[in-house]
């Protein structure tokens, strides 16, 4: 008999339509779902510590795909024409996986605003699971009959904790919870005490660390409200929070050093200082105004107090941002609440029942089945699949427990429990626990690297059309011409110290590099380079000038002393700020689209200037040639600036001292921002050094001084949403842009810039790009 394509298709369809094939497909989906849950645990551990486009895409894909895959699998199990006692068991683990791992409770800040939709999904899944259990449990007389009921209860507790955590991170909840902190900070008693606070002994620093009442929501209803302002009045000692003054007044072990044990370098107290600062940062995220006296006293901590050492200051900020990350992106911040109790009980029930099931599944059990599956290694396939599911979940729970114990949130909770307990034997016991857990090696909280970009090396890069097509199909950011990142470097203590010392020199009034020019005696010659149209102009012009000096005045590798340090600081920060222009424009003062637009033009200019140049020496010769031309383009201005620095200072030591001080001042100048969302998003993507500076300056109330006359004010609108990826990725080289108008508040005067045919190619008409100028 001759086989035809129709016969083969019918045979395959018949085979796939059998109950065994449908059950096998359900088993594959169930295993895939639990593996996705394990993958999310690993991604939740990696994403705050690694900056990678692949990691970011994988996190988004798993977080988005898993709920749909679980819903589809539950639907197949519900509509299957057969029943098996394993369905209820698998269904419980699927719905449990819907709760997301503790280290990955949200992908972005916006997920917290979808809490109602998530609650509805959970209610539907719980109802489907109850129906699934009721339809399958009556057929079984084996050990699997009762385990789904216990696991269903554990699932309910886990999902309840998950919903509570997601709700706490929403804008409404943050505003509600942190209003009481603002009322406390603005009370007369706190304001008067802060006036005379001592930044070395912390006496008078009554900034809140944690409230004493549990649960916290009870505090909102018990504290007395005073009329006519309707603000809460904190008279009772129980109503007052634990403050920084209380922490520093604790003279007991382990918060102090005794006989070689304890906390000689103040790391435990610094954790609670980080906790207090994180509360202030979230309060400002809720758009509450923090009293100026609080910022003044925080600045006093940095200038004269316990944070005057740069290593300690950055360590405190690092822990603070990890606590903020845990609040918005993980469930660790809720471990001290009722939701945390439910989470621990649910996970405990899951672990105990799962271990019991593993022991019994490892035996040759043959459950009562209406559909017989193949026997592999002496076990039914269904038993092996269940064994794999239970084992994967136990591994995931073990990883999550380890991550929890190493998290700063758990350590802070232990310290708070120690301080709140008054029973001597309990405090002693908690002291040993605190000493043991808090002294364990701590994994790095973020990447601790500076990503680099050099226009000299990357302007020739052109993305593959196939690559960008695939990126568009996968909803990933498109790669633009010239967008090729250099190798990231380690964030060294020298860079931190240089930036911190610059802050100490400039105090709270940051200027656009002008102080470094004045200090080095070149203000008259170079002041024009600090008064350009936008901040992006300034960064790219000085970046090109630094590249110019790097090739003409590079110190020998065996040189020691200040010149090598200054060279490292200047070149690293120059390429890092250029990286921010290309990959994180939302963290800079200018509007993100304006920054992208200018970068596209800089790439075109560099390609035109360096056309035909194959080596860096040839490119340097070209920069020397155009340095004297009257062109106002960014590349020409950068060449002019680099040549002027080289001619005026001549000595390499003076040149790198100037550039190191300038870039240290520049990164401080661009760091202040109202873009909370942009910086919080970076916490979940490996972190950025500029975010740590932003948090430090935000607490201290440090602000930018307006640029010199002729330079417009920064136009970045804070929390404004980023524009569509595809549109923002287009540049004059890969798309015809007839008119691009940056959003403005009121109609400004405008200027038309035409790109000539030589830059765009003869086949394309000149592009007219509208950019904002001075009003």
Lowest mean pLDDT among 408-417, 422-431, 647-656: 422-431
Q: Is the pLDDT of residue 740 over 50?
A: no
**Which has the higher per-residue pLDDT, 704 or 36?**
36
Q: In what helix (H) or strand (E) does residue 528 lie, and over which residues does it extend?
A: none
Residue 744's pLDDT band (boundaries 50, 70, 90)? very low
Lowest mean pLDDT among 213-217, 402-406, 542-546, 683-687: 213-217
pLDDT, the chain, mean: 80
Burial class (CB in 10 A: 0-12, 13-18, 19+), 210: buried
Q: Is the pLDDT of residue 62 over 50?
A: yes
Phi/psi for 470 (5° steps) reads -65, -40
How far is residue 503's CA from residue 521's CA, in Å, rounded to a whole number? 20
Q: Give the pLDDT mean for 616-630.
A: 87
Residue 428: partners with Cβ closer than 8 Å, 6 or more residues away: none
Strand partners for 768: 754
pLDDT number for residue 671: 94
**Which has the higher per-residue pLDDT, 237 or 302?**
302
**Which has the higher per-residue pLDDT, 302 or 8?**
302
pLDDT number for residue 104: 87
Q: Is the pLDDT of residue 263 over 70?
A: yes
pLDDT > 70: percent of the chain? 81
Distance in Å from the first CA to the final CA of the chain: 85
Q: Is the pLDDT of residue 726 over 50?
A: no
Q: Where are the domains of the chain?
A: 17-171+338-407, 172-334, 450-731
Residue 709's pLDDT band (boundaries 50, 70, 90)? very low
Residue 616: partners with Cβ closer than 8 Å, 6 or more residues away: 456, 551
User: Virtual CA dihedral for 600, 604, 606, 610, nearest 10 degrees?
Assistant: 160
Most confident of 145-149, 714-718, 720-724: 145-149
**Which has the higher per-residue pLDDT, 234 or 353?**
353
Q: Shortest CA distance to 669 belongs to which of 518, 515, 772?
A: 515
Burial class (CB in 10 A: 0-12, 13-18, 19+), 99: buried
pLDDT number for residue 758: 38
Q: Is the pLDDT of residue 256 over 80?
A: no
Burial class (CB in 10 A: 0-12, 13-18, 19+), 360: middle
Residue 751's pLDDT band (boundaries 50, 70, 90)? very low
DSSP string computed for 662-705: HHHHHHHHH---S-HHHHHHHHTTT--HHHHHHHHHHHHT-EEP
Q: Give the pLDDT mean for 734-759.
A: 34
Q: Is the pLDDT of residue 219 over 70?
A: no
pLDDT number for residue 476: 77
Residue 221's pLDDT band (boundaries 50, 70, 90)? low
pLDDT number for residue 706: 62
Most confident of 40-44, 433-437, 753-757: 40-44
Question: Token pair of 635, please?
Answer: 């590349």
How far is residue 490's CA from residue 535's CA, in Å, rounded to a whole number? 26
Q: Is the pLDDT of residue 766 over 70?
A: no
């Amino acid at each position: 008999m001759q086989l035809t394509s129709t016969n083969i298709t019918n045979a395959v369809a018949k085979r796939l339509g059998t109950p065994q094939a449908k059950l096998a497909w359900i088993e594959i989906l169930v295993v895939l779902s639990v593996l996705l849950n394990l993958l999310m645990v690993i991604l939740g551990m990696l994403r705050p510590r690694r900056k990678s486009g692949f990691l970011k895409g994988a996190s988004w894909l798993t977080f988005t795909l898993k709920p749909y895959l679980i819903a589809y699998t539950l639907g197949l199990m519900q509509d299957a024409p057969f029943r098996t006692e394993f369905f209820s068991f698998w269904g419980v683990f699927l719905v449990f996986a819907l709760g997301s791992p503790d280290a990955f409770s949200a992908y972005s800040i916006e997920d917290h605003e979808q809490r109602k939709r998530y609650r509805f999904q959970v209610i539907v899944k719980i109802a489907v699971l109850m129906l699934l259990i009721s339809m399958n449990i009556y057929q079984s007389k084996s050990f699997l009959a009762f385990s789904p009921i216990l696991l269903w209860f554990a699932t309910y507790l886990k999902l309840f904790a998950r919903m509570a955590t997601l709700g706490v991170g929403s804008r409404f909840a943050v505003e509600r919870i942190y209003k009481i902190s603002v009322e406390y900070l603005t009370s007369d008693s706190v304001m008067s005490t802060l006036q005379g606070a001592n930044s070395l002994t912390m006496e008078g620093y009554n900034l809140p660390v944690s409230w004493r009442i549990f649960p916290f929501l009870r505090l909102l209803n018990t504290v007395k409200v005073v009329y006519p302002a309707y603000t809460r009045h904190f008279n009772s000692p129980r109503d007052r929070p634990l403050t920084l003054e209380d922490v520093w007044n604790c003279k007991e072990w382990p918060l102090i050093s005794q006989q070689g044990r304890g906390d000689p370098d103040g790391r435990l107290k610094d954790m609670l200082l980080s906790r207090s600062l994180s509360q202030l940062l979230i309060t400002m995220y809720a758009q509450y105004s923090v009293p100026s006296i609080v910022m003044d006293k925080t600045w006093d901590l940095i200038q004269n107090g316990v944070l005057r050492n740069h290593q300690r200051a950055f360590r405190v900020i690092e822990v603070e941002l990890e606590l903020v990350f845990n609040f918005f992106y993980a469930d660790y911040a809720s471990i001290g609440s009722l939701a945390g109790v439910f989470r621990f009980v649910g996970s405990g029930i899951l672990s105990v029942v799962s271990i019991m099931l593993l022991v019994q599944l490892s035996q040759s059990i043959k459950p009562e089945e209406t559909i017989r599956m193949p026997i592999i290694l002496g076990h039914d396939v269904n038993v092996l699949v269940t064994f794999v599911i239970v084992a994967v979940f136990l591994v995931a729970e073990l990883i999550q427990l380890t991550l929890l114990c190493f998290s700063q949130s758990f350590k802070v909770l232990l310290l708070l429990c120690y301080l709140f307990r008054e029973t001597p034997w309990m405090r002693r016991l908690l002291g040993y626990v605190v000493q043991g857990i808090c002294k364990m090696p701590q994994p790095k909280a973020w990447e601790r690297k500076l990503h680099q970009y050099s226009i000299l090396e990357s302007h020739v890069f052109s993305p593959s059309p196939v690559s960008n097509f695939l990126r568009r199909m996968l909803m990933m950011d498109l790669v633009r011409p010239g967008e090729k990142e250099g190798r990231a470097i380690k964030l060294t203590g020298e860079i931190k110290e240089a930036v911190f010392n610059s802050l100490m020199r400039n105090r709270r009034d940051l200027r656009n590099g002008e102080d470094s020019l004045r200090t080095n005696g070149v203000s008259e010659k170079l002041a024009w380079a600090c008064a350009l149209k936008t901040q992006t102009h300034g960064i790219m012009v000085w970046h090109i000038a630094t590249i110019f000096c790097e090739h003409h005045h590079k110190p020998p590798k065996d040189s020691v002393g200040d010149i090598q340090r200054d060279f490292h600081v200047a070149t690293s920060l120059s390429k890092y700020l250029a990286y921010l222009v290309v990959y994180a424009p939302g963290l800079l003062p200018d509007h993100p689209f304006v920054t992208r637009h200018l970068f596209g033009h800089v790439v075109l200019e560099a390609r035109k200037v360096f056309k035909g140049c194959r080596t860096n020496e040839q490119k340097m010769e070209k920069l020397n040639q155009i340095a004297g031309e009257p062109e106002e383009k960014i590349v020409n201005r950068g060449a002019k600036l680099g040549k002027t620095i080289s001619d005026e200072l001549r000595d390499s030591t003076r040149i790198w001292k100037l550039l190191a001080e300038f870039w240290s001042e520049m990164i401080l100048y661009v760091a202040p921002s109202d873009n909370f969302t942009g910086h919080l998003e970076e916490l979940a993507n490996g972190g950025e050094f500029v975010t740590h500076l932003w948090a430090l300056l935000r607490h201290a109330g440090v602000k930018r001084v307006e640029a010199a006359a002729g330079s417009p004010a920064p136009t970045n609108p804070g929390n404004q949403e980023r524009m569509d990826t595809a549109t923002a990725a287009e540049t004059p080289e890969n798309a015809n842009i007839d008119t691009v108008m940056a959003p403005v508040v009121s109609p400004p005067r405008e200027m038309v810039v035409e790109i000539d045919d030589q830059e765009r190619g003869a086949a394309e008409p000149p592009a007219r790009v509208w950019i904002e100028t001075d009003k």
